[in-house]
Amino acid sequence: MIAKQNVENRYREVFEGEPSHIVRSPGRINIIGEHTDYNEGFVLPTAIDKAIYVAVAKRDDDIIRLYAEDFNAYFEIARTEIHPVEIGWPNYILGVIHQLQLRGARLGGFNLYVNGDVPLGAGLSSSAALECATGYALNVLFDLQLERVDIAKIGQLAEHTYAGVNCGIMDQFASVMSKAGHVLKLDCRDLSFSYTPLELGDYAILLLNTNVKHSLASSAYNNRRAACEAGVQLVKQHHPEANSLRDVTVDMLDNFVKSIDEDIYTKCRFVVEENGRLNAACEALKQGDLEELGKQLFRAHEGLSEEYEVSCSELDFLVDYVRVFPEVLGARMMGGGFGGCTINLVKRSFQDLLIDRLTPVYEEKFGLPLTAIKVVPSNGTELL
Ligand code: GAF
């Protein structure tokens, strides 16, 4: 948690003026439902108590001036000349500005200060949090009258156009719409959603960060998405009503995809089955059946690793290691994959022992630090 006072003080030092608004937009976890969002399926995320903080104020000229605490770096651009840039971090902000201007928003120049405690590259959606913090802050600063859901959609488009990742809506939606103590079941087809209390009793959610981020992650992500779309096209030849994998069954894949392209078949089947696992997990959560919930997490990991092929040896190792402990009900890789964190459903009283045992083994094996992160389901984007 970063104190509002801290953000205010740093804004004053960096820009020599007063911020007019400070916005907090959180990172997210996802209990289950991976790579389903861009297939019009379901996801079960929630925001966490780690967030991006943005402080903004208008300027008298047409300049946009940014400062990122993490990189100790300024970036400046004219409002009328917004374009993607080589350096990574400004793109998440510029992409949002670009989308707002495409929608006809009348923006002026402004200063924007960014800080945050969402670990970068850990698969906790720090980029979505930055996009949503920016969208929310500009909405209040320029009185744009955007709904929360518009802010999520704008963030997603910014990711497509300025970060080059054809992501689904999960991360941005979770960042803006989450409710403390709950998970959000989102239907990514029509964006209808419901909140379910995350009541885990003696158990807790523990994240284990591999501290790995493979550089090919975004191209592999886009390839997976393309494979899903190709599968839908094959089914569509026989079922014209099928518009996404949401409309497709395993039988249809068996009949119309398997013999044509085995790899596309396996990827698509994973997605169809992952929606089924999500529904089973939601039911288990409602019934308080945490053992069943945990089993679905382990199954999801097998699918992500062996079928969808978005895991890596570090993630597989972490899931295999915890599997033998009766105090760990479930574990799987979380998010896009190729690094980042595993999400673990662990007996609260066992967490520290697990971390103590696992850390030296992981570090010895991979020569990388292992970071354990305890998270609390939190509210979505807010004005501080
Ligand atoms: C990333 C994407 F940004 C999400 O939209 C989602 O597809 C996720 O990977 C995988 O479930 O976080």
How many other CB atoms are found less than 10 A from the CB of residue 225? 18
Taking the CA of residue 170 as reference, the ligand 1 atom at the shortest distance is 5
Blockwise average pLDDT, block size 10, the chain, 384 residues: 96 98 98 98 98 98 97 97 94 98 97 96 95 98 98 98 95 98 98 96 97 82 96 98 98 98 98 98 96 98 98 98 98 96 98 98 98 97 98
pTM exceeding the 0.80 threshold for the entire prediction:
yes
Asked if 350 and 325 count as a contact pair (C-beta separation under 8 A), the reply is yes
pLDDT of the residue at 183: 97
Contacts of 199-203 with C-beta under 8 Å, sequence gap 24+, read 199/285, 199/288, 200/290, 200/345, 201/288, 201/290, 202/347, 202/348, 202/349, 203/290, 203/329, 203/345, 203/346, 203/347, 203/348
- The catalytic residue among 61, 62, 150, 171 is 171
Q: How many angstroms separate the alpha carbon of residue 41 from the centre of ligand 1?
A: 12
Domains and CATH numbers, the chain: 4-197 (3.30.230.10), 203-375 (3.30.70.890)
Dihedral in degrees, nearest 10, Cα atoms 190, 194, 195, 200: -90
Q: How many angstroms separate the alpha carbon of residue 318 from the centre of ligand 1?
A: 20
Taking the CA of residue 125 as reference, the ligand 1 atom at the shortest distance is 12
The answer to whether 36 is annotated as binding is yes
pLDDT of the residue at 143: 98
The answer to whether 124 is annotated as binding is yes
C-beta 171 within 6 A of ligand 1? yes
The answer to whether 16 is annotated as binding is no
Q: Which of 159, 165, 169, 171 to mutate to test the pocket of ligand 1 (most atoms within 8 A of CB)?
A: 171
Taking the CA of residue 43 as reference, the ligand 1 atom at the shortest distance is 11
pLDDT of the residue at 218: 84
The answer to whether 126 is annotated as binding is yes
C-beta 34 within 6 A of ligand 1? yes
Contacts of 321-325 with C-beta under 8 Å, sequence gap 24+, read 321/358, 321/361, 321/362, 322/346, 322/354, 322/358, 323/298, 325/350, 325/354
Q: Which residue's alpha carbon is nearest to atom 1 within ligand 1?
A: 336
pLDDT of the residue at 147: 98
**Per-residue pLDDT tens for 319-362?**
999 999 999 999 999 999 999 999 999 999 999 999 999 999 99
C-beta 290 within 6 A of ligand 1? no
C-beta 155 within 6 A of ligand 1? no
pLDDT of the residue at 217: 73
Can 352 be counted among the known catalytic residues?
Answer: no
Residues in the chain: 384
Dihedral in degrees, nearest 10, Cα atoms 300, 25, 375, 365: 60
